[in-house]
Amino acid sequence: MKSQSNKVQSACDVKVYSDKGSLALRFPLRHNALWEALDGKSLRGKPKCLGIGKYGFSADEPDDWKRAASIASQIESDLDHTEWDKLFDRTLAKYGLGGGKYAKLAEIIQLPGTVSAVPEITVGVMWEAYLLWKQTTIEETTFRAAYSTFTNAINGKVWSRASRCHSQSDFSLSQVELTKSSELDKHLAGIKISQKPLLMSALSEAFNFAKSKGLIVHSATENPFDLSKFATPAITTQQKYADKVINGETVEWHEVIDEKALESDRRAFTRDERDIIIKAFYESPKKQQVKLAPLIEFYFLTGCRTSEALPLTWKDIDFDRNLIRFSKSVGCGTNKIKDTKTGETRLFYFSENSRLKALLLGVKEAASNSLVFPNSKGKFTQLKVVSNSWRDNSNKQVRPSGEEVTYFYPGIVSQLARDGLISGYLSPYHTRHTYITLTAHANSHNTDALLHIATSCGNSVDVILRHYLGRVESVELVEV
């Protein structure tokens, strides 16, 4: 079939008409060679007519006429282009008419005088190549925590909190070719994870990586994940502290572990609220929560990040010089030792008669393990265990009878907030902000003390002045 791109047309030659209450398309005679090849029979000089009623196009709906006219125009534009054999989708899926007989026929029919176009690589091929490179550039914890979630989303796997396992959805982005924009958009819309903007960023980076390595088949293939196409407005505080949808399920905002967001969310408990929480852990009727009480008190008295206390050993505490060495942390996803968030080792000093030293001496006296805060098996305490004791959580189970039962486990801090004993719920990470806030305010006019707080907590004096004290230190210079 020869191109007709140089023909001047006042209107679309692919006509939309009504056929027994449904809509149909009538093609001009110049397209007969295509349809005869796809149908495997001669049209005997008559125009090809294609009914589209089965795709939901009704002659009684004005909007359907408009949609059909748009499709007709798009098909004609592709068929009359000089590179029609590359643009025209023989499956008709590109035009929203896929799934019929042409989807199967296009796989085996070779149109006269054409050469089959080499298909573009799929998202899955691009992603796997990208992962092999990406895992060599970032920390193992970050890679496993984020990119396993991204991979499951791309493969169409959805996590169920009820069954505690993944199930396969109808949206599998990995099998879609990079040039199939409509299919890509459809499958992307089916992905429901809280970190979707980060996933889009990773997919865009993956495309650029694949192109730099010569993996993209056609030079004309554009990045379908270009971030400018998916720009989103800045997140408001209402959105930031709202419940989130992860893998199709609603999760309360405080259940999502996002250390970067938590670091910038500098709300804090009051001194009285801090002591109420600590006391509640020590007096809990549950042994697991009582065992966690020293760790919770340690968080409040040092301001360390929650993952930094878990790998502490007694070698990290010097009772002669009254200092603690924070040099590592435990990854949330891997439960393996890694560097601190900043990659630096910090020394935290405490006074001889401090509440913190009394706490540590008491813990050491009963210790039978090299870890300062081990679990009942002598291994690292997991952050999930801390979180489950701190906040409410529930678990859905299906009984042999098929009945679904939900078990509710109240968390200490969640319950204190419900009972009105504290002003509101904040996550375990806010123990850090509580320490910095209370200590900074108590020493607000002592520059040396603020520097000590900043250094021991892995912060800066500027951050403490601006974000914890809410002011900028003014200095009057003496002229010389």
In this structure, the answer to whether residues 179 and 99 fall within a common structural domain is no
Q: CATH no. for residue 292?
A: 1.10.443
In this structure, the answer to whether residues 327 and 422 fall within a common structural domain is yes
Q: What is the pLDDT of residues 440-462, one digit of tens each?
A: 778 777 766 666 676 767 665 56
How does residue 115 score in pLDDT terms, banded at 50, 70 and 90?
A: very low
Q: CATH no. for residue 134?
A: 1.10.150
Q: What is the pLDDT of residues 137-149, one digit of tens each?
A: 887 777 887 788 8
Q: Indicate the range of 68-77, 282-291, 326-335, 429-438 predicted with least confidence.
A: 326-335
Q: Give domain status of residue 9, yes or no.
A: no
Q: Is the pLDDT assigned to residue 9 strictly greater than 50?
A: no
Q: What is the pLDDT of residue 106?
A: 53
Report the distance separating Cα 375 and Cα 384, nearest Å.
12
> Vertex 229, ends 154 and 159: CA angle to 5°?
25
How many residues would you count in the chain? 480
Q: Is the pLDDT assigned to residue 166 strictly greater than 60?
A: yes
Cα dist from 132 to 127, 142, 226, 300, whole Å? 9, 15, 22, 41
Q: Indicate the range of 85-94, 168-177, 190-199, 224-233 predicted with least confidence.
A: 224-233
Given CA atoms 459, 462, 466, 468 in this order, what sign does their dihedral have? positive
Average pLDDT for the chain: 80
* H or E stretch at 264: helix 259-264
Q: Give domain status of residue 111, yes or no.
A: no
Q: Give domain status of residue 156, yes or no.
A: yes
Q: What is the pLDDT of residue 463?
A: 62
Report the distance separating Cα 23 and Cα 50, nearest Å.
9
**First vs last Cα of the chain: how many Å apart?**
89
Q: Is the pLDDT assigned to residue 368 strictly greater than 70?
A: yes
Q: Name 99's bridge partners.
A: none
Residue 323: burial class (beta carbons within 10 Å; 0-12, 13-18, 19+): middle
Report the distance separating Cα 128 and Cα 168, nearest Å.
19
Among 59, 75, 105, the domain boundary falls at 105
Q: Which of 432, 389, 458, 410 is nearest to 269 (CA)?
A: 432
In this structure, the answer to whether residues 314 and 275 fall within a common structural domain is yes
Among 74, 105, 136, the domain boundary falls at 105
Q: Is the pLDDT assigned to residue 37 strictly greater than 60?
A: yes
Q: Give domain status of residue 475, yes or no.
A: no
Q: Is the pLDDT assigned to residue 276 strictly greater than 80?
A: yes
In this structure, the answer to whether residues 127 and 100 fall within a common structural domain is no
Mean pLDDT on 98-126:
63
In this structure, the answer to whether residues 278 and 424 fall within a common structural domain is yes
More confident residue, 392 or 195: 392
Q: What is the b/e burial string over 46-57, where b = at least 16 CB atoms within 10 angstroms of the residue's CB?
A: ebbebebbebeb
Query: Given strand 317-318, what is the order of strands in its sheet?
Result: 317-318, 323-326, 346-349
In this structure, the answer to whether residues 444 and 356 fall within a common structural domain is no
Q: What is the pLDDT of residue 6?
A: 38
Over 353-409, what HEC string results? CCHHHHHHHHHHHCCCCCECCECCCCCECCHHHHHHHHCCEEEEEECCCCCEEEEEE
3-state secondary structure of 439: helix
Look at phi and psi of residue 314 and say left if phi exceeds 0, alpha if psi is from -120 to 50, else beta: alpha
In this structure, the answer to whether residues 353 and 450 fall within a common structural domain is no
Q: Give domain status of residue 256, yes or no.
A: no
Dig out the tokens for 135 from the structure. Answer: 């895992």
Q: Is the pLDDT assigned to residue 409 strictly greater than 70?
A: yes
Q: Which of 266, 237, 214, 269 is nearest to 390 (CA)?
A: 269
More confident residue, 219 or 121: 121
Indicate the residue type of 79: L
Q: What is the pLDDT of residue 18?
A: 93
Report how many domains make up the chain: 4
420 CB neighbour count, 10 Å cutoff:
8
Q: Is the pLDDT assigned to residue 329 strictly greater than 80?
A: yes
In 126-217, DSSP assigns E strands to 157-160, 165-168
3-state secondary structure of 467: helix
Q: What is the pLDDT of residue 396?
A: 79
Across 83-87, 210-214, 465-469, which has the greatest mean pLDDT?
Answer: 210-214
Among 105, 131, 155, the domain boundary falls at 105
How does residue 475 score in pLDDT terms, banded at 50, 70 and 90?
A: very low
Indicate the residue type of 105: L
Q: Give domain status of residue 238, yes or no.
A: no
Q: What is the pLDDT of residue 448?
A: 67
Report the distance separating Cα 392 and Cα 431, nearest Å.
18
How does residue 379 score in pLDDT terms, banded at 50, 70 and 90?
A: confident
With contact defined as beta carbons under 8 Å apart, do 383 and 247 qualify? no
Indicate the residue type of 9: Q
Q: What is the pLDDT of residue 250?
A: 57
Q: What is the pLDDT of residue 324?
A: 92
Q: What is the pLDDT of residue 459?
A: 64
Distance from CA of residue 425 to its chain's centroid? Answer: 24
How does residue 474 score in pLDDT terms, banded at 50, 70 and 90?
A: very low
Q: What is the pLDDT of residue 295?
A: 96
Q: Is the pLDDT assigned to residue 193 strictly greater than 80?
A: no
Mean pLDDT on 392-412:
84
Q: Give domain status of residue 397, yes or no.
A: yes
With contact defined as beta carbons under 8 Å apart, do 393 and 411 qualify? yes
In this structure, the answer to whether residues 451 and 419 fall within a common structural domain is no
- 122 phi and psi, to 5 degrees? -90, 165
With contact defined as beta carbons under 8 Å apart, do 217 and 120 qualify? yes
Q: What is the pLDDT of residue 277?
A: 96
Indicate the residue type of 220: A
Q: Is the pLDDT assigned to residue 410 strictly greater than 70?
A: yes
In this structure, the answer to whether residues 279 and 408 fall within a common structural domain is yes
Report the distance separating Cα 214 and Cα 99, nearest Å.
32
Q: Give domain status of residue 257, yes or no.
A: no
In this structure, the answer to whether residues 413 and 282 fall within a common structural domain is yes
Q: What is the b/e burial string over 185-218, where b = at least 16 CB atoms within 10 angstroms of the residue's CB?
A: eebbebbbbbbbeebbebbbbbbebbbeeeebee
Instruction: Provide the domain limits for residue 448.
Output: 432-468
Q: What percent of the chain has pLDDT over 70?
A: 77
Q: What is the pLDDT of residue 443?
A: 77
Q: Is the pLDDT assigned to residue 236 strictly greater than 60?
A: no
Report the distance separating Cα 88 and Cα 80, nearest Å.
9
DSSP code per residue over 89-148: -TTSGGGT-TTSHHHHHTTT---TT--PPPPPPBHHHHHHHHHHHHTTTS-HHHIIIIIH
Q: What is the pLDDT of residue 12?
A: 85
pTM of the model: 0.49
Q: What is the pLDDT of residue 362?
A: 94
More confident residue, 336 or 204: 204
256 CB neighbour count, 10 Å cutoff:
15
Report the distance separating Cα 355 and Cα 404, nearest Å.
47
In this structure, the answer to whether residues 338 and 385 fall within a common structural domain is yes
In this structure, the answer to whether residues 47 and 137 fall within a common structural domain is no
Q: Which of 232, 228, 235 is nearest to 253 (CA)?
A: 235
